[in-house]
């Protein structure tokens, strides 16, 4: 940390290293809904709320690490805290508004919050890595997080958003069930990723990344289904 205070350029590099990959992912997902784009001002607010969620989750995870003896349970609780807080970051903005008026809006906003979360999380990771490994190695490691951690946050929150989108016109109790299933799937995926990364010391990263891409394709297909539901409303 002292290195960063004496060389603020590293702080800027860390911030850009965390932010730019998330913005690239965000551009990709927003292109999937380019016919009826969300207001840029609302997307910006949700993105920032996702970043702020990191500051809330850190003390929660510290508490879990201090008071939970089981490493497996710790992994699950960490993932649960992150998924819940990303969801509440969106809910805090959209609650009692008519902004999310189409099924596709929910996965868009949840993915946006997730990418804001990943941007600051990766920035903090890069700040931590710089004094240990230097700028070049830290950035290379950061790109692995871009492919792994950022993708994980995107698809896990996307799953929750898709669950809301698919149940958009259903009765309230069905919406509750879809949301619960969305959270269970997202937390299970998130926990499994963290568990295998930790237990394998990164040696099985490529296999895990390949699995994430398979899940991403499934999420994109479901995303397309939700988008078509939205188009039927408009047409």
Per-residue pLDDT of 186-213, as tens digits, reads 999 999 888 877 665 555 667 777 888 8
Inter-residue contact 230 to 166 (CB < 8 Å): no
Residue whose C-alpha is closest to residue 232's, from 104, 111, 107, 109: 104
pTM of the model: 0.87
Residues of the chain short of pLDDT 50, as ranges, are 1-5, 132-143, 145
Angle at 64 between CA 18 and CA 87, to 5 degrees: 55
CA distance 69 to 125: 25
Q: Is the CB of residue 122 less than 8 Å from the CB of residue 17?
A: yes
CB crowding 8-33: b at 16 or more within 10 Å, else e: eebbebbbebbbebbeebbeebbebb
CA distances from 73 to 70, 77, 78, 118 (A): 5, 6, 9, 22
Per-residue pLDDT at 98: 82
Q: Please report the pLDDT score of residue 3 as a whole number.
A: 45
């Amino acid at each position: 940390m002292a290195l960063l205070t004496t060389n603020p350029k590293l702080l800027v590099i860390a911030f850009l290293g965390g932010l730019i990959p998330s913005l690239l992912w965000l551009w990709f997902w927003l292109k999937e809904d380019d016919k009826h784009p969300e207001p840029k001002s609302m997307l910006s607010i949700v993105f920032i709320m996702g970043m702020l969620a990191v500051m809330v989750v850190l003390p929660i995870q510290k508490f879990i690490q201090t008071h939970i003896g089981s490493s497996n349970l710790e992994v699950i609780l960490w993932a649960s805290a992150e998924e819940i807080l990303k969801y509440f970051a969106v809910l805090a903005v959209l609650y009692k508004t008519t902004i999310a008026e189409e099924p596709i809006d929910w996965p868009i906003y949840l993915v946006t919050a997730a990418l804001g979360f990943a941007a600051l999380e990766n920035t903090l990771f890069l700040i931590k890595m710089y004094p240990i490994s230097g700028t070049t190695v830290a950035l290379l490691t950061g790109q692995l997080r871009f492919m792994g951690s950022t993708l994980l946050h995107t698809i896990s929150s996307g799953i929750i958003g898709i669950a809301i989108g698919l149940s958009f016109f259903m009765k309230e109790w069905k919406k509750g069930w879809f949301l619960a299933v969305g959270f269970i799937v997202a937390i299970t995926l998130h926990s499994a990723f963290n568990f295998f990364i930790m237990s394998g010391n990164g040696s099985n990263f490529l296999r895990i990344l390949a699995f994430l891409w398979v899940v991403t394709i499934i999420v994109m297909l479901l995303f397309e289904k939700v988008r078509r539901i939205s188009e039927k409303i408009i047409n």
